[in-house]
Amino acid sequence: MEELYRLIEQKIKDAGYNGAVDGEEIYSEICDEIEGKENGHYIFMVKKEGNVHFEYTLQVMDEQFNLSSINIVDNGISIMVDFDN
Q: What is the mean pLDDT of residues 55-73?
A: 97
pTM of the predicted model as reported, rounded to 2 decimal places: 0.91
Q: Which residues in 71-83 are b (16+ Cβ under 10 Å) and which e? A: bbebeeeebebeb
> Residue 73: what pLDDT?
97
Residue 33 binned pLDDT confidence (cut-offs 50, 70, 90):
very high
Residue 85 binned pLDDT confidence (cut-offs 50, 70, 90):
confident
CA dihedral 2, 33, 59, 21 (to 10 degrees): -40
**Domain ranges across the chain:** 2-82
* Best CA proximity match to 54, nearest among 84, 28, 78: 78
| DSSP symbol at 56 | E
Q: What is the mean pLDDT of residues 62-72?
A: 96
> Residue 32: what pLDDT?
95
